[in-house]
């Protein structure tokens, strides 16, 4: 009697030929996917750029009321326009302590201070330098008048002398050398802009 043929059992392995199919990647959680999408869509975080300093909008005119101020002097004591009310004074703005032009101008005011005192006119120098630097500058050159510290450029802006400047192709913000004569009533009697140091103090005295 012939033996009964049995069908071979199906192999547990897949009969698919060719390269093995790659297993599917595990799906990322929805929250993680959303975070990645948001990060890709938004620009790279950057450190905020410093806000550029703005130039003064306009200069004060002769005959107009002098801007009010309250600033520390070279000793740290506050000097204000209110404390000078009823007295004439001279404000001269300069860029920086202990630089050639500013030193020459300060020494010219120092050497002619008696003539200003004779006119009962107080001389006040103003720059963005801090009180400590002002004090060193005064001591180094024997300056005998007050220097005001306008570190925030508030007074320079109020007078319209904080401006954009150019030097050797470089653009930057700085003080435009200027002088203002304020009379007893608190008005600007005379203004000198873009001052050239040589002969300037003599011109101021001549105007008195």
Give the catalytic positions in this structure.
102
3-state secondary structure labels for all residues of 178-202: EEEEECCCCEEEEEECCCCCCCHHH
Using alpha carbons, list the distances in angstroms from residue 6 to 3, 9, 49, 85.
9, 9, 83, 123
Decide the pairing of beta strands 122-127 and 89-93.
parallel
């Amino acid at each position: 009697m012939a033996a009964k043929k049995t069908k071979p059992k199906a192999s547990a392995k897949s009969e698919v030929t060719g390269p093995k199919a790659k297993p599917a990647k595990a799906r990322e959680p929805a929250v993680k996917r959303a975070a990645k999408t948001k990060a890709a869509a938004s620009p790279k975080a950057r450190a905020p750029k410093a806000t550029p300093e703005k130039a003064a909008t306009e200069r004060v005119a002769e005959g107009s009321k002098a801007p009010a101020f309250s600033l520390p002097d070279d000793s740290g004591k506050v000097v204000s326009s209110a404390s000078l009310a009823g007295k004439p004074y001279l404000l001269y703005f300069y860029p920086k302590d202990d630089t050639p032009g500013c030193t020459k101008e300060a020494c010219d005011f120092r050497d002619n201070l008696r003539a200003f005192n004779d006119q009962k006119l107080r001389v006040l120098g103003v720059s963005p330098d801090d009180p400590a630097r002002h004090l060193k500058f005064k001591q180094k050159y024997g300056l005998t008048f007050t220097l005001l510290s306008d570190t925030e450029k508030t007074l320079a802006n109020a007078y319209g002398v904080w401006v954009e400047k150019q030097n050797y192709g470089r653009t930057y913000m700085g003080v435009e050398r200027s002088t203002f004569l304020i009379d007893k009533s608190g008005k600007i009697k005379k203004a000198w802009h873009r001052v050239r140091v040589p002969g300037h103090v003599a011109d101021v005295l001549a105007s008195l």
